[in-house]
């Protein structure tokens, strides 16, 4: 079971690197905002996987949920800032 979780974590890290490469290539602001949100979501799942690997999922789930909440708030705030009339672009 540990090998399965470890290989899934490596696959998730590879997916994050691929998403980061796509994020750098995109030119649109909203594409980049969505890309950062996707990387944040994958990081949340990776934190949960790390908790399973280490054997303390209850601690890592708390950290993952806190990170997910912060990621959501920051994504909404940045999107709201750049869609506000008269905001610096």
Q: What is the pLDDT of residues 8-58, one digit of tens each?
A: 889 999 999 999 998 888 888 888 888 888 999 999 999 998 898 888 889
Comparing 11 with 82, the larger pLDDT belongs to: 11
Q: Is residue 34 part of a domain?
A: yes
In a domain, 88, yes or no: no
CA distances from 32 to 10, 18, 22, 44, 48 (A): 23, 14, 9, 18, 25
On whether residue 89 sits in a domain, the answer given is no
Residue 39 lies inside a defined structural domain of this protein: yes
- Which residue range(s) make up the domain with 28? 2-83
32 is a domain residue: yes
Within-domain flag for 16:
yes
Tally the domains of the chain.
1
pTM score over 0.85: no
Instruction: Give tens-digit pLDDT for 59-80.
Output: 899 999 999 999 999 988 888 8
């Amino acid at each position: 079971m540990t090998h399965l979780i470890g290989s899934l974590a490596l696959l998730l890290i590879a997916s994050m690197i691929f998403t980061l490469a796509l994020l750098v290539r995109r030119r649109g602001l909203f594409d980049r905002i969505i890309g950062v949100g996707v990387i944040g979501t994958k990081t949340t799942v990776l934190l949960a996987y790390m908790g399973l690997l280490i054997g303390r999922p209850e601690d890592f789930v708390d950290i993952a949920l806190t990170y997910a909440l912060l990621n959501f708030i920051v994504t909404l705030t940045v999107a709201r800032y750049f869609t506000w009339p008269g905001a610096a672009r």
